[in-house]
Structure formats: C-alpha cells, structure tokens
Amino acid sequence: MFLLVLLLFIGLCVEIFHYVKIKANAFSEKEVKAAAELQAKRMRIEDPEISCDYCGSKIDTSKYKVCPHCGAPYDNDEEWLAKFKVDEEFVNESTDRLIALREEKASEKSRELLRSIKNKIRILVILNVLIIVFAVAFTVKQNMDRFRGNEKLNESTYEQYAETDYKIEGDRVIYDDGMVKITISGIYQEDDEPTKTDDGLLTKNAKVGFIVENNSDKNVNIAMECNSVNGFSTDSFYISDYSLYRKNKAVTVYERIRLCPGEEVSEMIFDSIEVYSSDYKYQGSIEKPVIVRTTSKKTEIDYSISGNKLIYSDDKVDVYSKLIDGKGFEIYAANKSDKAYKIDSDDLIVDGKAYTAYGLHDVFFPNGYILRTSALRSYAEEFDIKTIGEKKCTD
C-alpha cells in the first residue's frame, strides 16, 4: 500500500506541474505581446509602397529610408503613418485576442488535468486515512496480543476437552503474594482412548485451567514451569508458561499438559513460579515446589524402566540407558531417596563417545519419580569430529 501511495503522490506532483505550466503559458502577457508585435511587423511588410508627398513618386519602404527620386523623408507621411505604423492600441487588441485564443485551448486541457488531480487527491486522502486506521488498529491489536486474556477451553473445532469427574484437592491456590494470585480452576480431558509413547508409557491429552488475578497496578510477567506429573519427570516441561498479564485484571487461561503420563492427572509439581514487572521493581516467586494433588484414583501407571541397561546405581538413584536409532541414547533415572534434586550435566562420555544432553539443565527431579530424558546425541559420530577434548564424569 505504501508503494501505491508513493506512486500516486509522484503522479500527482507531475500533473500539478503540468497544470501550472499550462496556466502559465496561457496567461504569459510578455509572450503574447511579443507574438502580437511579430504579427504587426508581418503586416507592415505585406504592402510596403507609399507615394512621396513632395514629388509623387512611389517609395518602396522596405528598401528606402527616403524618396529615391527627390530625397524627401517620409517618416511624417500621413499614408505611412496611417497604413503601416502599428500603434499600441493594435498591439493591445492583438494581445487580447491571442490571450482569449490560448485560454480557450488551455482551458479544456487544464480542466482534464484538474479533474485528474482532484481524483488523485481524493484517493490519496482515502488511502492515507485507511493507512492511519490500519496502523492504529494494528498497534492496538499488537498491544492487546501482548497480554493473555480470557481464553476458551476448546480453541479449535477438533478439541473436545471437558472438566473431569476428579477434582483438585485443597484450596487450588498455587501462588498468592497479595498482589498476584494464581488458582487452578480445574483439570480437563478429552473423551478419547489413551496412546502409548515409543517407550511404552501410556499418555492421554489433558489441560489445566488457571485463574490469574493481577491486583497490582503494574503489568506482570509470569514464568511458570511444571516438569513433573504423575510420578514422571522430563527434561523439557509438561506445563510451561511465559506470559504477560494486564494490571488490575483477572483472566482464565488454559495450558496443555504435553504427553501427560497416565490416563488421569493425580499429581502435578510446579517447581518454579516467578512473577515480575517489566521494570523489575515488583518481583515474587515460590520458595519451594508446589505439589497439586487430585481425587483421581488412577495413581498407579504400568511402566517399568528396569528392562533398560543399568549404567549407574547407588542408594539414591538408579540410572538406565536405552539405545535409539543406533545413534544416541535416552536416559532413565529413578529417584529412590527421600529428597528432590536438581539435575544439571555437561557432555557425557558413553562407551568412549561424547554425548550432548540437550535438556539436562536445572531439571527438577522429585523423590519417588522417574526421569525420562530426550535423546542424547554424539556430535563426534554425527558430524565426524576426530578430536574431542578430555571429559570426565563427576558425582
């Protein structure tokens, strides 16, 4: 649209220039007077002969300045003055006639140009108004889209989520600092059959509803993470929200539990909830993980990691590995202790090859849970790296 406006503006400038030029040419008195004088000069030359007042001989005024027979001057000769001298009145009359003629010729062309100019001005005004309206609407929408507002449970036509029969135990509040309050509104699932992951874990789609009340006078960012559900932890997240919420406003939003383990949600552990304003003058966070339990009776999930290769074991944890695609490994760990851990790792050495753990950075690992990682890949093998710096494993 900007290019169209630019082209129209250039065209308008060209036509205005032509219009001004036509009007100037039509009413240029100097130019018209010069044309009238030229016409008068041509009239004098058409019949240059007069009769000498002294001797009566013919004088060709185009050749002689005085009478060739008697030498008498004719500059005051009445015939000369009456017939050949073009006075100011004639020039003025000729000028008026030429101006009228040129005005008539220019008038039609200028009217056409003026109509075109007016049309282009109208179009430019309309386009500029549309651009301004569009820019304002876009800015307002962008500003509104920055904030999460009230959301529908089923955003797409193919979604069929409904509230579950089992409910949240307790008051359902997972964060409240007096300014911002986050409450779980419910658990929602679709009425479909559960599916299994590649490693045999039963999963079913689920959503969690959150009522976010921002009672502060500042817009706030909320970073909320949950990587542990139903006895399973992941190096990614089951629930992850990094969103902006408007000041003095309460909204209901929904987050999907990605590959929710089990047929129902019996337990969720939120290991990190942070709330802060854009200027960081207001900040808040949970001091310890928040455990949310439901009334679901399906707390046991038929799944075992013991069939994989045991690569490490002590009184706190068992660690297993599983070869995938012949190129990498998945790591499984069982937390046998009575404590929760944060798992962090650098590259690992497995059978003499360096493997990169993409997601093992501050991974929350509660007691009694099983940790399932994403694939660990060997860059040395995939990208044919010949030399690798020394690595060592530490506790």
* 113 vs 90, residue with greater confidence: 113
CA–CA separation, 16 vs 317, rounded Å?
85
At 191, is the pLDDT very low, low, confident or very high (cuts 50, 70, 90)? confident
**pLDDT tens profile 211-224:** 999 999 999 999 99
At 351, is the pLDDT very low, low, confident or very high (cuts 50, 70, 90)? low
Residue 392 has pLDDT above 50, yes or no: no
Instruction: Say how far residue 255 (Cα) sits from the centre of its chain.
Output: 25
CA–CA separation, 344 vs 354, rounded Å?
16
CA–CA separation, 271 vs 225, rounded Å?
6
Instruction: Say how far residue 11 (Cα) sits from the centre of its chain.
Output: 30
pLDDT of residue 123: 76
CA–CA separation, 104 vs 99, rounded Å?
8
**Contacts of residue 211, Cβ cutoff 8 Å, sequence gap at least 6:** 181, 182, 183, 184, 185, 250, 251, 252
* 40 vs 325, residue with greater confidence: 325
List the one residue out of 367, 144, 149, 162 whose CA is nearest residue 269: 367
**pLDDT tens profile 198-213:** 888 899 989 999 999 9
At 122, is the pLDDT very low, low, confident or very high (cuts 50, 70, 90)? confident
Kindly report which listed range (48-52, 65-69, 148-152) carries the lowest average pLDDT score.
48-52
Average pLDDT over residues 312-338: 86
Average pLDDT over residues 19-45: 56
The most confident of the ranges 32-41, 125-134, 354-363, 383-392 is: 125-134
At 239, is the pLDDT very low, low, confident or very high (cuts 50, 70, 90)? very high
Instruction: Say how far residue 175 (Cα) sits from the centre of its chain.
Output: 34
Single-letter amino acid code for the residue at 54:
Y
Pairing relationship of beta strands 370-372 and 232-234 according to DSSP bridges: parallel
Residue listed under structure tokens 């044309």: 35
Residue 382 has pLDDT above 60, yes or no: no
At 335, is the pLDDT very low, low, confident or very high (cuts 50, 70, 90)? very high
At 390, is the pLDDT very low, low, confident or very high (cuts 50, 70, 90)? very low
At 176, is the pLDDT very low, low, confident or very high (cuts 50, 70, 90)? very high
**pLDDT tens profile 291-305:** 999 999 888 888 889
**C-alpha distances in angstroms, 302 versus 230, 261, 263?**
12, 10, 11
CA–CA separation, 187 vs 163, rounded Å?
6
Tell me which DSSP letter residue 146 carries.
T
Mean pLDDT computed over every residue of the chain: 79
Token digits for 238? Answer: 């089951």
> Helices (H), strands (E): how many in the chain?
5, 26
44: left (phi over 0), alpha (psi -120 to 50) or beta: alpha
Determine how many CB atoms are found less than 10 A away from the CB of residue 285.
12
What's the CA angle centered on 94, arms 90 and 98, to 5 degrees? 170
Average pLDDT over residues 309-330: 84
254: burial class by Cβ within 10 Å (0-12, 13-18, 19+)? Answer: middle
What's the CA angle centered on 198, arms 192 and 199, to 5 degrees? 110
* 217 vs 377, residue with greater confidence: 217
Can you give the length of the chain in residues? 395
Residue 312 has pLDDT above 50, yes or no: yes
pLDDT of residue 387: 45
* 387 vs 124, residue with greater confidence: 124
* 92 vs 165, residue with greater confidence: 165
CA–CA separation, 24 vs 109, rounded Å?
13
Percent over 70 (pLDDT), the chain: 68
* 343 vs 277, residue with greater confidence: 277
* 289 vs 311, residue with greater confidence: 289
pLDDT of residue 134: 75
**pLDDT tens profile 139-174:** 666 665 689 999 999 988 889 999 999 999 999 999
pLDDT of residue 379: 58
At 57, is the pLDDT very low, low, confident or very high (cuts 50, 70, 90)? confident
